[in-house]
């Protein structure tokens, strides 16, 4: 290679430290807007950029907890953001920095910064991580998929430790409102306490923080104090319990605290990504305890719920966003309300920055990478395969002209999911189903949409299939 060629190659290098740092600046600013201050500070703030090796970029996090959490919650988002920012990057690896100090003794997990608490601040501040002031019942949009969980949360807030609701176990996929409901309970508890009595003492923390503090307490020989503190609260809330999986010592401690509190008539609220019976790595006795109160599922959102959420948030922001844009978002961003909010916030931020009204085309451009990331997720072939498997029919029957109900219904479900989960047009979907007409697809979509409001089994099937396809 000549010197000039080498220079040209170096000039074209888009993975040098300066470029990466600039790009990370842009990405992190965006993530900041999308996730909000509290989440960003808690989880991503301490991310340090490593280097590129081939098409893989390394990001460093100070602890294993943080690394696992960021990987689980933001991994795909980070990858998508980097790919969009820098085409030379295809993969993002999250690692911990293995300097001797951090390898043996993980640095403390950043506790979320305390937020200015509304007047009725819950007590036990030393045990309560940041409660997001936006996460109130008033700000929670209720729809079919979450009405049961919402009702249970309200009940616990007004009548802690009431029969049948202790523990309250909230579960559901990422970004469906578990944390929101838990914070809402915490905000509401003091208000619902009878005037003469003191407001209930609340401890809210994520399972990782619980684990971290417990281990820290053990190390500094203050475990007894920590236990006493925990056992002194009226309401204990542990978020994201799935992170206790496999952590036997911490699970054991949680189990004992759990029993002590329930026995003395205190309320427990737990959230997780799965139901107690589906959670792997949880001891049987804890599983049994977790299931013995109220188990409430936050289902995947529906188009209607997503649209209502967007409408509510738009109204709050005071920014004018055309219905068509909201419909686009509700249609495309189906995985989590967090992502939906993130997209909306980005539009609002851009509108504010450039003082331009938001249009459909503008929104499509601004959210290009995000919308594309959602498109990539599921293909019609995958949908057909999964649906066929689920209903135990042959894949070829999906595409065949047969009209027997046993194959026609699964086929309609697959068409419905194709419309919901991909950005394919009706004629394109029809084409993929043995060259059917777009009106057939439209009919299927309407029929399934209609049926799932009446037929619980079908609704569950569709929900399950959607989850499998999106995971
Ligand atoms: P999870 O804990 O289930 O992962 P979160 O409670 O953190 O999800 O919710 C993610 C984001 O979506 C939060 O900003 C939350 O306020 C918002 N959100 C979720 N569900 C709703 C809802 N039904 N109404 C309003 N906002 C919601
Ligand atoms: Mg959460």
Chain-centroid distance of CA 468 in Å reads 15
Tell me what pLDDT residue 37 has: 64
H-run or E-run covering 234: none
- List residues bridging with 267 in a β-sheet: 235
Tell me what pLDDT residue 376 has: 57
Classified as helix, coil or strand, 216 is: helix
Higher pLDDT, 335 or 401: 401
Q: Mean pLDDT across the stretch 161-181?
A: 95
Tell me what pLDDT residue 64 has: 66
Return the closest-CA partner of residue 385 out of 469, 470, 441, 451: 469
The answer to whether the CB of 170 is under 6 A from ligand 1 is no
Classified as helix, coil or strand, 190 is: helix
- List residues bridging with 272 in a β-sheet: 171
Q: Whose CA is nearest to atom 21 of ligand 1?
A: 177
Higher pLDDT, 80 or 363: 363
Classified as helix, coil or strand, 69 is: helix
Tell me what pLDDT residue 282 has: 85
Strand order in 91-96's β-sheet?
Answer: 48-53, 56-61, 91-96
H-run or E-run covering 357: none
* Beta carbons of 250 and 210 less than 8 angstroms apart: yes
- Name the E strands within 90-223: 91-96, 168-172, 202-206
Mean pLDDT is lowest, of 201-210, 373-382, 461-470, for: 373-382
**% of the chain exceeding 70 in pLDDT:** 86
Structure tokens of 399?
């595409």
Q: Whose CA is nearest to atom 14 of ligand 1?
A: 338
How would residue 63 be classed by pLDDT, with cut points 50, 70 and 90? low
How would residue 171 be classed by pLDDT, with cut points 50, 70 and 90? very high
Mean pLDDT is lowest, of 47-56, 253-262, 305-314, 379-388, for: 47-56
Q: Mean pLDDT across the stretch 357-362?
A: 90
Q: 192 alpha carbon to ligand 2 midpoint, in Å?
A: 24
Residues in CB range of 162: below 8 A, 6 or more apart: 155, 156
User: What distance in Å separates the CA atoms of residue 257 and residue 252, rounded to the nearest whole number?
Assistant: 9
Place of tokens 């999964």: 386
Q: 154 alpha carbon to ligand 1 midpoint, in Å?
A: 16
H-run or E-run covering 449: helix 438-451
* Beta carbons of 164 and 294 less than 8 angstroms apart: yes
Q: Mean pLDDT across the stretch 268-285?
A: 91
The answer to whether the CB of 110 is under 6 A from ligand 1 is no
Mean pLDDT is lowest, of 13-27, 218-232, 309-323, for: 13-27
Higher pLDDT, 150 or 318: 150
How would residue 352 be classed by pLDDT, with cut points 50, 70 and 90? confident
The phi, psi pair for 136, rounded to 5°, reads: -115, 165
Higher pLDDT, 302 or 20: 302
User: What distance in Å separates the CA atoms of residue 470 and residue 382, rounded to the nearest whole number?
Assistant: 11
Tell me what pLDDT residue 147 has: 97
The answer to whether the CB of 338 is under 6 A from ligand 1 is yes
Q: 275 alpha carbon to ligand 2 midpoint, in Å?
A: 15
How would residue 266 be classed by pLDDT, with cut points 50, 70 and 90? very high
The answer to whether the CB of 176 is under 6 A from ligand 1 is yes
The answer to whether the CB of 140 is under 6 A from ligand 1 is yes
The answer to whether the CB of 226 is under 6 A from ligand 1 is no
Mean pLDDT over the full length of the chain: 84
Tell me what pLDDT residue 122 has: 44
Q: Mean pLDDT across the stretch 15-25?
A: 79
Mean pLDDT is lowest, of 19-33, 48-62, 122-136, 144-158, for: 122-136
- List residues bridging with 295 in a β-sheet: 169
Q: Mean pLDDT across the stretch 442-471?
A: 88
What's the burial of 94, exposed, middle or buried (CB within 10 Å: 0-12/13-18/19+)? buried
The preferred substitution site among 134, 333, 337, 345 for testing ligand 1, maximizing ligand atoms within 8 Å of CB, is: 337
pLDDT at 258 over 50: yes
Q: Whose CA is nearest to atom 23 of ligand 1?
A: 141
Residues of the chain by 3-state class (helix, strand, coil), percent to 5: 60, 10, 30
Tell me what pLDDT residue 106 has: 27
Strands 294-298 and 168-172 come out as parallel
User: What distance in Å separates the CA atoms of residue 247 and residue 107, rounded to the nearest whole number?
Assistant: 18
pLDDT at 176 over 90: yes
Return the closest-CA partner of residue 34 out of 77, 80, 93, 91: 77
* Beta carbons of 178 and 239 less than 8 angstroms apart: yes
Higher pLDDT, 132 or 154: 154
How would residue 117 be classed by pLDDT, with cut points 50, 70 and 90? very low
Tell me what pLDDT residue 383 has: 95
CA distances from 357 to 318, 322, 351 (A): 13, 9, 6
Q: Tell me: the pLDDT tens digits for 184-224?
A: 999 998 777 776 577 788 999 999 888 888 888 888 988 89
Of 145-154, 339-348, 418-427, the range with the highest mean pLDDT is 145-154
Higher pLDDT, 467 or 103: 467
Chain-centroid distance of CA 399 in Å reads 35
Residues in CB range of 262: below 8 A, 6 or more apart: 166, 167, 268, 289
Q: 183 alpha carbon to ligand 2 midpoint, in Å?
A: 10
Q: Whose CA is nearest to atom 9 of ligand 1?
A: 177
Residues in CB range of 33: below 8 A, 6 or more apart: 342, 345, 346, 349
Q: Whose CA is nearest to atom 5 of ligand 1?
A: 177
Residues around ligand 2, an ion, CB closer than 5 A: 178-179
Tell me what pLDDT residue 124 has: 52
* Beta carbons of 170 and 269 less than 8 angstroms apart: yes
User: What distance in Å separates the CA atoms of residue 418 and residue 425, rounded to the nearest whole number?
Assistant: 9
pLDDT at 12 over 70: no
């Amino acid at each position: 290679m000549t010197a000039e060629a080498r220079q040209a190659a170096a000039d074209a290098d888009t993975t040098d430290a300066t470029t990466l740092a600039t790009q990370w600046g842009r990405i992190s600013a965006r993530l900041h807007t999308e996730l909000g201050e509290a989440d960003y500070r808690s989880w991503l703030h301490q991310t340090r950029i490593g280097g590129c090796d081939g098409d893989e970029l390394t990001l460093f996090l100070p602890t294993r907890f943080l690394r696992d959490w960021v990987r689980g919650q933001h991994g795909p988002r980070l990858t998508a953001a980097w790919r969009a920012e820098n085409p030379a990057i295809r993969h993002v690896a999250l690692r911990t920095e293995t300097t001797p100090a951090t390898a043996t003794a993980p640095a403390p997990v950043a506790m979320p910064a305390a937020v200015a608490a509304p007047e009725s601040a819950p007590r036990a501040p030393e045990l309560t991580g940041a409660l997001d002031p936006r996460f109130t019942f008033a700000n929670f949009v209720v729809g079919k998929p979450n009405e049961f969980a919402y009702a249970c949360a309200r009940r616990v807030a007004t009548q802690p430790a009431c029969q049948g609701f202790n523990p309250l176990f909230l579960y559901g996929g990422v970004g469906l409102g578990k944390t929101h409901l838990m914070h809402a309970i915490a905000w509401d508890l003091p208000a619902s306490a009878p005037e003469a009595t003191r407001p209930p003492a609340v401890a809210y923390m994520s399972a990782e923080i619980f684990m971290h503090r417990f281990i820290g307490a053990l190390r500094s020989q203050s475990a007894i104090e920590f236990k006493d503190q925990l056992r002194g609260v009226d309401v204990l809330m542990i978020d994201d319990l799935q992170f206790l999986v496999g952590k036997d010592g911490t699970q054991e401690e949680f189990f004992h605290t759990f029993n002590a509190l329930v026995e003395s008539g205190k309320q427990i609220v737990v959230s997780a990504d799965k139901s107690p019976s589906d959670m792997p790595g949880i001891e049987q006795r804890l599983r049994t305890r977790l299931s013995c109160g109220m188990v409430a599922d936050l289902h995947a959102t529906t188009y209607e719920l997503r649209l209502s959420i967007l409408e509510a948030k738009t109204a709050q922001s005071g920014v004018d966003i055309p219905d068509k844009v909201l419909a686009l978002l509700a249609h495309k961003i189906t995985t989590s309300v967090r992502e939906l909010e993130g997209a909306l916030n980005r539009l609002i931020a851009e509108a504010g920055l450039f003082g331009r009204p938001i249009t459909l085309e503008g929104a499509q451009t601004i959210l290009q990478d995000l919308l594309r990331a959602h498109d990539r997720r599921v293909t019609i072939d995958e949908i057909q395969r999964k649906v066929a498997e689920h209903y135990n029919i042959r894949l070829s029957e999906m595409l065949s002209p047969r009209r027997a109900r046993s194959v026609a219904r699964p086929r309609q479900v697959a068409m419905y999911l194709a419309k919901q989960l991909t950005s394919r047009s009706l004629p394109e979907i029809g084409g993929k189903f043995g060259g059917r007409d777009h009106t057939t697809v439209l009919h299927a979509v309407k029929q399934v949409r209609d049926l799932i409001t009446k037929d619980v089994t079908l609704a569950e099937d569709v929900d399950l299939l959607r989850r499998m396809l999106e995971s």
